[in-house]
Amino acid sequence: MRCWDVLVRGLEAEGVRHLFGLPGHPAALYDSLYDSGMEAVLVRMETSGVFMAMAYARILRRPGVCFGSPGPGVANLVPGV
């Protein structure tokens, strides 16, 4: 079992159904998502992904999760925090 599998299982246990983000360094995450029931919502920039996750959580009252690639991608997540 890979670390991404453990992460995806933990998110599923918390009720997460969608992950918002930009594919990049965590490419193995998509392999784990493929085997799970969660759906990846791809965005063009991490900033829009974090706002999508926030709106998703507020409207549906479910956990909203966003991920980004290391480095500048993480800096693009900051405006939504």
Closest CA to 44 of 52, 33, 34, 56: 52
Is residue 2 pLDDT above 80, yes or no? yes
Please check whether residue 74 is in contact with residue 25, taking contact to mean a CB–CB distance below 8 angstroms: no
Sorted by where each starts, the structural domains of the chain and their CATH numbers stand as 3-80 (3.40.50.970)
Q: For the chain, give the percent of residues with pLDDT over 90.
A: 54
- Please report the pLDDT score of residue 10 as a whole number: 95
pTM of the complete model = 0.84
Give the tens place of pLDDT for each residue, 19-43: 998 887 777 888 888 888 899 999 9
pLDDT of residue 73: 81
Which residues is 24 bridged to in the sheet? none
**Sheet strand arrangement including 18-21:** 39-42, 18-21, 65-67
Distance CA 47, CA 55 (A): 13
